[in-house]
Structure 1
């Protein structure tokens, strides 16, 4: 294979051409060209070319490939709130799946509070010829904005399915796992820090909490809505403590659980001695909270990969690689323990607020 010397003096490999591939495989360059265009080959010829591609570490030129096949190999991703653990990991999975299938993923983060910014962001995205767009919609506002779009490319709306009381929590809802763990430890007095009500995931997690409180005949200090942040979890926990003292708190994500644990500590309560706390999502830092947080691991990256898979399948792309999310998993750490024996009625606490 041809090589060239880099500016730093090192030797680097020149990109392989179809002639290099043909020579390595022992076939004609016409056979390689037909292979690149997706035209069927005899299995023996196809196997030779595939081995040569791997040996030469061939990287396709997507622009040239699009000109040859007449199909774009760029995808668009519309999202928002990428500072949140779930959306950011979904994007990582989507980007990885697109890359594995031979596509580039152009990511546009929308500011849902600014209609002008949304329009400008879409103008940037639409400058490219796209094979399809996956819209990662977590909130009602995002879904509303996407449904009003007029795009030439196929659009896949990927969002968490709304659950209802009749059917009960689905297998994708992690709250039941967290509460079953707490029930197994002997807890009966609960509280819930919910996410923002415009998020379908937050509504689903709250529905699961209230469903299990009712079905299991549990005592609930109440539910306080927050905004996924640690600061909002802190404020929510202080409000819950003003109503009474549960022995177990189920936070709808790990960041809010972190804020809740600080509020409990400032109130003179030990975690998990006085109050057990669980989170949800298994954020990268959850194992390093003080104490390490019991949580439910959600395979967000596989959900992102699945979104791209569904988009590619919908547009008839042959490069589809299926990938299903792993089941939810409870990660038991040191923020949960059996409740202490009751010494009388629950102690009420008061605070001045944040």
Structure 2
């Protein structure tokens, strides 16, 4: 019988990962991934550190993963303002999702809070890492737009920000606000006040600018403004602060939900709508006809806006297969009992 000593065979060394490279270079794994994918918007000193770490660790990207990434993808990533109580953005993304599905794509939605920079960065990193044919960005604020502009994506990107800059289509915020203002001017109103949405939002900026231009064009005056956050509570708070000693006869509210809060505040303050002050909203939500009094508003075809935006992205992905976006339907005015002729 032969005896001997056993020798432990060392376990095979695991190949280095992208995360190992990131740790050695002192950068995020997203940065390493962008460099490996060939992105160019990486600072030279960062690039040097990552390349040195790759060489030191003898890192090799996963070929199977890379082959999957180069295959034709049927997925579209979407950055979306993750608040389901916001009617407009929710209906826009639903229209976009429906159109993507009809074209044979799946829309993967990544939610974000546009008020939190870290949340925006996280969401952008997630879609940058994903295997997609294109990216749809529902970007309500300048912060989201700026973060998107900072990243060099390898696929088409369409920015849906309440306007359609790639196609030059007409803007529902502009035409809708003009409809409401002209309606009030025709009723004899000349002294206006407004409750805006949060002014870092493109929609709020555009509606305010359109109101200012329409009032001035009609010979009226915008006496003042207060800023809300799209919620009924913020409309209520603004309604409590609205000055009643400046002859205001028309209140223009940037969405129907804030208008609901404003109507409640005015009622508490003894202001009769529309006898003492006419009030209008924006969006045309189904509930607006049941407000007290029923709200004059404009209905915007948000679903069509989402579909048109998706058409624009699909055209960028494959111009030969998908036509460019068509002209959007104009907003419709719903004149109801919250507006009446000015009495002073």
Give yes or no for TM over 0.5: yes
Tell me the distance in 1 between the aligned counterparts of 2:115 and 2:224: 30
Task: Confirm or deny that 1:131 pairs with 2:133.
Answer: yes
Q: Which runs of structure 2 are paired with 1:12-27 in the superposition (5 Å)?
A: none
Q: Does 1:337 align with 2:340?
A: yes
Any gaps of 5 or more consecutive residues in structure 2?
A: 1-67
Report the equivalent of 2:76. 75
Q: Residue 158 of structure 2 aligns to a residue in which SS?
A: strand
Paired residue for 2:190? 188
The 3 A distance-change label for structure 1 pair 104 and 235 is same
Q: Does the residue aligned with 1:285 lie in a helix, a strand or coil?
A: helix
Segments of structure 1 that go 5 or more residues without pairing to the other structure are 1-66, 164-168, 343-354
Partners in 1 of 2:160 and 2:73 — Cα distance?
Answer: 21
Q: Distance in 1 between matches of 2:252 and 2:238?
A: 12
Instruction: Quote how far apart the aligned CAs of 1:246 are.
Output: 1.4
Give matches, 1:1-354, under 5 Å.
70-83=71-84, 84-126=86-128, 128-161=130-163, 172-173=173-174, 174-316=176-318, 320=322, 322-340=325-343, 342=344
- Structure 2 Cα separation of the partners of residues 172 and 268 of structure 1: 31
Is the 1:101–1:319 contact (alpha carbons within 8 Å) kept by the matching residues of 2? no
Using the TM superposition, give the Cα deviation of residue 119 of structure 1 relative to its aligned residue in structure 2, in angstroms. 4.2
Distance 2:121 2:193 in 1: 41
* Maintained 8 Å contact 2:94/2:306: yes
**SS in structure 1 at match of 2:308:** helix
Find the residue that maps to 2:272 and give its secondary structure. Answer: coil
The 1-side partners of 2:192 and 2:119 are apart by: 42
1:162/1:200 contact within 8 Å kept: no
TM-score, with normalisation over the residues of structure 1? 0.70
Q: What is aligned with 1:18?
A: none
Deviations 1:148-175 (A, max 9, x none): 2243322112223499xxxxx9665111
Residues 175 and 124 (structure 1 numbering): CA distance in 2 closer, same or farther, change over 3 Å?
Answer: same
Contact 2:162 2:203 in 1 (8 A): yes
Rounded Cα–Cα distance in structure 1 between residues aligned with 2:119 and 2:213:
39
Task: Determine if contact 1:162/1:204 at 8 Å carries over to the other structure.
Answer: no
In 2, Cα distance between equivalents of 1:118 and 1:210 = 31
TM-score by length of 2: 0.71
**1:162/1:263 Cα in 2 relative to 1: closer, same or farther (>3 Å)?**
farther
Shift of 1:81: 4.7
Q: For the residues of structure 1 that align with 2:212 and 2:134, how far apart are their CA atoms?
A: 39
Q: 1:208 to 1:301 in 2, by over 3 A?
A: same
Q: How many residues align?
A: 270
SS at match of 1:241: coil
> What's the RMSD between the two structures over aligned residues?
2.6
| TM-superposition CA deviations, 1:282-336 (whole Å, max 9, x none) | 1232122111111011111111111111111011165536554211110111111
